[in-house]
Each structure stands twice: as C-alpha cells, then as structure tokens.
Amino acid sequence: MLKHLILGGSALAFSMVAQADEIATQTSLPAPWVATDGAVIDFTVLRKGKPFGSHVLTFERDDNGKLEVTTDVDLQVKFGPITAFKYRLDSVEEWIDGQLVALNGKSNNDGRKGEVVAQAEGGDLLVDGTKFDGALPIGTIPSSHWNRLQVYQNQMLSTETGEVLDIDVEVIGDDTVQVGDQMVDATHYRLKSDLIVDLWYDRQSRWVKLAFEVRGQDIEYVLNQLY
C-alpha cells in the first residue's frame, strides 16, 4: 500500500524533457520551489479523517549550494495496545544545481523491507535498489513529491526500493487548499499509476497537499503550516 502512498515514498526522468516539451506546447513550465536552508515540510497524515502519522521533510543547504533533503515518514494503525499496521520511510537526497546527485532510502512496509542507494557518476545516476539496479540519466527526479517538476515527467525513481514508476499526469486545474487558518491558491494534479494520487502545489510551487484512496480508505496529507 505505502509504495503507492508516496508513489514509490509520496515524486525517474527518462522522458522528462520530451514530456515537458509536449506539455510546454500548451502551457509554460512553472518555476520550481527553491528550498531554503532550514525549511521544513510538515504533514499530518489522515486515514478516514483521523490522524494516521506524519510525513516530514527537512532541507539543509551548505555554503557551496548543495541541498540535502531528509524525509521521515512514520505511519501506524493501532487498535488499543495492538499495532495492526506500521510503515516507516527514511531517505536522504542530495541535490546540486537542481539535479539529484545522491539518494539513500530505507523503508519498512509492515515487515516488507526495501532500500535504494543512488549516486551520480559521469552523466548517469547509478542505482542499486531492491526493485531496480542500473544506470539512469542525470535529471532523474525521485518520488519524494516536494519537487513540482515531477508532474512534468512520466516516470519517477522510488525512494523506497529504487523501482522505476510509470505515471500519467493530468492537470485538474486551479483549486484552493486550507493550510492552518489560511486558504492557499494551488494547482491540482492527478498522478495515475497502479494507484491514483492527487497532488496540489501553490503559486510558489510549494507542495501543499496529497490525497488518494486505497481499499476504500481515504488518505489525506494536511500541511501543518506554510514553509
């Protein structure tokens, strides 16, 4: 289930340029959000309207401009003292000049474990993962969802297992999202894979919401505050 919650955790660019060119014939690509040092994206995850856990990303940028993105996902379903379901994802991305140059991810999906290690070398991103081993092009975007440009590609690299995830993206259109006591203007996208996942990005290309349905259960990411 959680592989699709994150479309891999929440987010591969074999055809990113070609697809972006096709979309650009209809609309201009949005400028991506530029992460600042110390920024935090903090979501409460709801299951059937009730808190299910958290999905938190933290951003650190060094003096040379390298960006490190840490993702921490912790979800649990409990019935009294009994834990019926548990999921964890821990990943660290490194970006230089807007390109992913390294990724380390580990997941535990209710006992099913996955991992991925990726490193830029020459013109490739070398991936060693539970579901994929091989070389991918520089320009690959992982499935962590914070980078809005992921919706202008048709594949992503899973931060859970290294799997190459095929996606089809539909622009639903303008919408508003509640963040705390604010209503934020946003664009609504629908990512179609084995699961349909809805994503919202605001006018600054900040990721502000995620939602999907699985096995008759509604899952929703509620952003605790703007970043």
Does residue 179 lie in a domain region?
Answer: no
- The whole-number mean pLDDT for each consecutive block of 10 residues of the chain, a chain of 227 residues, reads 44 33 54 95 96 97 96 92 92 96 97 97 96 94 95 92 94 97 97 91 98 92 97
Does residue 42 lie in a domain region?
Answer: yes
Q: State residue 2's pLDDT score.
A: 47
Does residue 45 lie in a domain region?
Answer: yes
Does residue 225 lie in a domain region?
Answer: no
DSSP state of 177: E
Whether the full predicted model's pTM is greater than 0.75, yes or no, is yes
The total number of structural domains that make up the chain: 1
Does residue 22 lie in a domain region?
Answer: yes
pLDDT in tens, 40-75: 999 999 999 999 999 999 999 999 999 999 999 999
Q: State residue 81's pLDDT score.
A: 85
| Residue 109 CB contacts under 8 Å (≥ 6 apart), including other chains | 1, 2, 3, 87, 160
**What's the CA angle centered on 156, arms 154 and 160, to 5 degrees?**
155
Q: Are 104 and 91 in contact (CB under 8 A)?
A: yes
From 69, 39, 41, 38, select the one nearest 55 (Cα to Cα): 41
Does residue 191 lie in a domain region?
Answer: no
Q: Are 60 and 38 in contact (CB under 8 A)?
A: yes
Does residue 211 lie in a domain region?
Answer: no
Q: State residue 15's pLDDT score.
A: 33
Does residue 14 lie in a domain region?
Answer: yes
How many whole angstroms separate alpha carbon 155 and alpha carbon 151? 9
Provide the domain limits for residue 154.
2-167
Q: State residue 1's pLDDT score.
A: 42
